[in-house]
Amino acid sequence: MGFGCSVTVLLVFCLWGVLISVSDSTRLGSSRQKLEVNKHLNRLNKAPIKTIESPDGDIIDCVPISKQPAFDHPFLKDHKIQMRPNFHPEGLFEENKFDENKAKSSTPINQLWHANGMCSEGTIPIRRTKEEDVLRASSVKRYGRKKHRSIPKPRSADPDLVNQSGHQHAIAYVEGEKFYGAKATINVWEPKIQQTNEFSLSQLWVLGGSFGQDLNSIEAGWQVSPDLYGDNNTRLFTYWTSDAYQATGCYNLLCSGFIQVSSNIAMGASISPISSYRDSQYDISILIWKDPKEGHWWMQFGNDGTVMGYWPSFLFSYLAESATMIEWGGEVVNSEPDGQHTSTQMGSGHFPEEGFGKASYFRNIQVVDSSNNLKAPKDLGTYTEYHNCYDVQTGSNGDWGHFFYYGGPGKNPNCQ
């Protein structure tokens, strides 16, 4: 009896020791993670001279332009900020040809935070990163980065291989010559996302190099990404990488690289207003081009031509010279297992054949040539992995130049 009792006591003590050990280990892991997250937040969130609370819950910090995250990069320590490009591309599509009764392209696209204030000249607005934002990521290191290769490879892509990555597209593209920029006007929607680890975006890609481990990409557009932002708002975004999303680059200003000069627009902040089905249509213009003098890649946003800033040319290998492919269109993540399909929408969530007021569009598509001239693209190709889920249809006319409708609902009777 006494022996049995001592064995029982021993077991209790052992179990208690194990529980204490596990508890200590959990606390240790938790405290280490918290320390790591806080260090990362301190790196990202620069001391503001003014703070603006947005109606959607965002906090916008007005940070001195010289204190922005870009200058954490070792190669930018002594960089002299270029406040404006040396040259703008010539030959912008004549927007005044567009019928404003059809789409409110002249209506200023605002960001929600503008309702409560603006940043002053000499500062830039930065969406503050919160602890919960970082904790939603798979790791602190991966926060603000795309999880998979998300560049479609037209013509030669293997649908089975593409499906494994979970990324699906409906795009138009050009290739086969040297490109020095791209432009498009994109109407803005708020697609429904099925699961928080999925996203839906509409963007243009400026690409250099092969589709291997050394791919260079500059990207800009709008996206809905609950995982990245914690809500379902439509937000302006940019992205860049010089090694196919492995170790370089990030969304917006979540790493050093992009140098912002605009005090009016915040990367990653919500866009307003957005288009409605069978109702008002609102669109944004995005232009990315390579300055012939300095070689930096500049971005211009909005119908008023706000110059946002630039990606220094040293960030890239292939794009240090020129781009070899331009893509425009939509992308979603399908995280459904076993060949099933998500109901995450692309664009408006409607197929291109529904046309204006119902389907999403890109219009006034142009590329920048070696003479810094904007021109209509030649041989515009299209690509989609599963046209019964998301599709694309191109066209051309005097008002819209080269354009296409794209998108779809995802899961439907023909897309399981």
What count of residues does the chain have? Answer: 416
Active site residues: 219, 331
Q: Are 75 and 242 in contact (CB under 8 A)?
A: no
**C-alpha torsion 9→12→14→16, nearest 10:** -140
The structure tokens listed for 182 are 């791209």
Six-digit token pair at 325? 């492919």
Q: How far apart, in Å, are the Cα atoms of 211 and each of 12, 30, 257?
A: 59, 38, 22
Owner of token pair 């077991």: 11
> What's the rounded Cα separation, in Å, for the pair 262 and 271?
16
Q: Tokens 């432009």 belong to which residue?
A: 183
Beta-strand runs (E) in 248-376: 259-260, 271-272, 283-290, 297-301, 306-311, 323-333, 360-368, 374-375
Residues 154 and 319: their CA atoms lie apart, in Å, by 20
Compute, in degrees rounded to 10, the torsion defined by CA atoms 384, 145, 217, 392: 20
> In sequence order, what DSSP letters do the residues of 162-230 get, joined into one string?
HHHHTEEEEEEEEEEEEE-EEEEEEE------SSTT--EEEEEEEEES-SSTT-EEEEEEEEE-HHHHS
Kindly report the three-state secondary structure assignment for every residue of 337-348. CCCCCCCCCECC
CB neighbours of residue 126 within 10 Å: 27
